[in-house]
Amino acid sequence: MLALLKNYWVYIIGLLFLAGNCALYITSDFYLLNLLPFVLLTVFAAIFALDKLFLFVVICTPLSLNLEQLTGGLGIYLPTEPILFVIMLIFAFKQILDNSRRDAAVINHPISIAIYFHFAWIFLTSITSELPIVSLKYMLSQLWFVVPCYFFGIWFFKAKKTNAMTFIWCYLLPLTVVLVVTVIKHASHGFSEEVGHWIMSPFFKDHTSYGAIIALFYPIVVMLTFNKNFSFETRGLLFVMLLIFSVALFYSYTRAAWLSVVGAGLVYLLFLFKIKFKYLLYVAAVGITFIIANWTELSYMIQKNDAEHTTENLVNVSSQCPMYHLMPLTSKD
């Protein structure tokens, strides 16, 4: 009877919530009450399953939307930043109540000490700021990133060895969805470079951050694709993801991202062939000597180069190829 009564109360509360929500929406055009179940679920997860909530934030990160871009309001990403704030509060509260949860190696680590000095300096300068409330809000916004991602993140990765791979998958899969959507939208505009500067909105602010995150995870996707420990089906999925990442990286029109991937590949080759550090010093010395000896000519060539866009630079380089006039890289129409 008691169990039946409890079930009835669940239905009654649910119906009352729906009725109240509908009444508020019809009479006052108030729809924020729809967020109440999500808020209650977030609080429940933060208390009883903080690690699962952290992974949920990881999944939502590539899909999060900037409220400032959508409504012109606060520059906050939804739903990730409010959840990070909740994780920060719950984690700090648990650290204060339970001494066994504290890790002295993490607390006394030089990086942690540098973070303490960083926030101490922000706090001191906030007091003397012309707009102390704004400065303190900035410090708070930095805290809800650092505490969950650094202090709780260390505990999360140390708790279970498989958490690192789970973290990677939770980020890669939604990021791939974002890349597919962006590439399809970009293709509908003919992969124009000008369009490529904003087509990733609202998921990314501009093509630089978009290209940077692709370049950051590109080596990871390559490594996972050729990892023989995965099944044939998983490696097939990863190969498709690698193709998507390659296309998205190329059409991000971010030269820094391209160079980063090339640099990462060169570093991998250094480790693969076990090239000694002294040989690298020899190559660096020759390169620096060449630059110093030809600095006047090089600076003149840099100043003479008036190409402002990536595609123009590609055309300038490719036009030196004999096949360029038969098969140009870009259309002039």
**pLDDT (tens digit, 9 = 90+) per residue, 196-210?**
899 998 888 888 999
What number is the average pLDDT over the span 119-131? 92
Report the C-alpha gap between 95 and 103 in whole angstroms. Answer: 10
Percent pLDDT > 90 in the chain is 43
* DSSP state for residue 152 in the 8-state scheme: I
Give the pLDDT score at 23. Answer: 75
Give the pLDDT score at 250. Answer: 94
Which of 3-12, 22-31, 166-175, 220-229 has the weakest average pLDDT? 3-12
Percent pLDDT > 70 in the chain is 81
**Cβ atoms of 144 and 81 closer than 8 Å:** yes
Q: Pick from 187, 182, 296, 304: which is nearest to 245 by CA?
A: 182
Which residues on neighbouring strands pair with residue 77, listed in sequence order? 66
pLDDT at 8 over 70: no
* pTM, two decimal places: 0.77
H and E: helices and strands count for the chain: 16, 2
What long-range pairs does 165-168 form, CB within 8 A, spacing at least 24?
166/55, 167/55, 167/58, 168/220, 168/224
Which of 10-19, 172-181, 229-238, 288-297 has the weakest average pLDDT? 10-19
Using one digit for the tens of pLDDT, what is the confidence trace for 265-281? 988 888 888 888 788 78
CA angle 257, 260, 265 (to 5 degrees): 130
Report the C-alpha gap between 85 and 82 in whole angstroms. Answer: 5
pLDDT at 78 over 50: yes
What number is the average pLDDT over the span 294-306? 71
164: Cα separation from own chain's centroid: 16
**Helix axes of 80-97 and 50-60: crossing angle, nearest 10 degrees:** 160
Top-confidence residue, 24 or 262: 262
Report the C-alpha gap between 64 and 34 in whole angstroms. Answer: 18
253 three-class SS:
coil
Give the pLDDT score at 252. Answer: 93
Report the C-alpha gap between 315 and 251 in whole angstroms. Answer: 15
What number is the average pLDDT over the span 41-61? 88
Give the pLDDT score at 47. Answer: 80
Using one digit for the tens of pLDDT, what is the confidence trace for 166-180? 999 999 999 999 999
Give the pLDDT score at 73. Answer: 56
77 three-class SS:
strand
pLDDT at 49 over 60: yes
Does an H or E element contain 28, and which? helix 2-28
Q: Pick from 59, 81, 217: which is nearest to 147 by CA?
A: 81
What number is the average pLDDT over the span 218-244? 94
* DSSP state for residue 1 in the 8-state scheme: -
Give the pLDDT score at 327. Answer: 43
Which of 123-137, 295-309, 316-330 has the weakest average pLDDT? 316-330
Give the pLDDT score at 241. Answer: 96
Report the C-alpha gap between 213 and 256 in whole angstroms. Answer: 11
Which of 62-66, 125-129, 285-289, 317-321 has the weakest average pLDDT? 317-321
**Cβ atoms of 221 and 172 closer than 8 Å:** yes
Give the pLDDT score at 35. Answer: 73
Top-confidence residue, 107 or 8: 107
Task: Grade residue 325 by pLDDT with cuts at 50, 70 and 90.
Answer: very low
Which of 110-114, 294-298, 310-314 has the weakest average pLDDT? 310-314
Top-confidence residue, 193 or 15: 193
**Cβ atoms of 86 and 42 closer than 8 Å:** yes
Give the pLDDT score at 319. Answer: 45
Tokens found for residue 61: 């990160």
Mean of the per-residue pLDDT values of the chain:
83
pLDDT at 298 over 60: yes
Give the pLDDT score at 155. Answer: 92
The 10 Å Cβ neighbour count of residue 231 is 8
